[in-house]
Structure 1
């Protein structure tokens, strides 16, 4: 049991590590609003080194551009909290890793920063696989968190779910 993270996150991370290890699949992450929580959850699990290749915490737009090659035009057009941005982040993660699958997360954790179109609690996710047709897999979720920590907790759980085979 972990004292660092909630049991539900650690339990789900354990499933992600065990199930991906069984099929020999490596994962990588690009995290913005979760700030590395998904990677932290995975590394709580013994044996995670067999599964987790790397994680990028690209909190700023500059980091998304420099580390993951997300274009400034894409961010200016759609915003950092958009399916287009997280899809580009996931693609950049695959390009700069040895992973078979990448998950990217960006969102508005609050308490500030929300807009009428993207209120606090808006989080976008994308999953990209090295093998396959390359079709974008992404979704936008609206979490109703009482505070920043709750939104980040829910986003971490949702991202871990995307890493299950």
Structure 2
């Protein structure tokens, strides 16, 4: 059971306890007790989140070497880890995923009309990289449940010349 579901269940249980308790003359409110199952589930969720953060940190540690291989190509590479609902734009089945996102920002403005076909032609290779290397590494790191890896590319500018917080291109791989 995911965190939002556990929270909702806990809140509903508390409301039921308060409603039943409100019918008595006692002023004491019963505190909900964690069962062993909910304690185990919470511990597993915490362990998964910790493993995800450790994996993201290990990936971040590789960024300086990567950037040195491509001087003047990328301004930055940002790696983040989160447990979240997959964005509909990614094409992944709905659900909560342990997500690693690689966000590449080019150092110079890009002609996206030229770059996007090249990036699109690499989707199969990116999928193979996820299947053959990244997902197994995430599992080896102790990350459980559905996995999502998102690659985004941008140049820090929107097509009209302004700064843009969203990528010009993205691709996602997932494993359930």
Instruction: Give the TM-score taking structure 2 as reference length.
Output: 0.28
Highest RCO, 1 vs 2 (Cα 8 Å, sep ≥ 6)? 1
Give the number of the structure whose alpha-carbon radius of gyration is greater. 2
Instruction: Give the TM-score taking structure 1 as reference length.
Output: 0.30
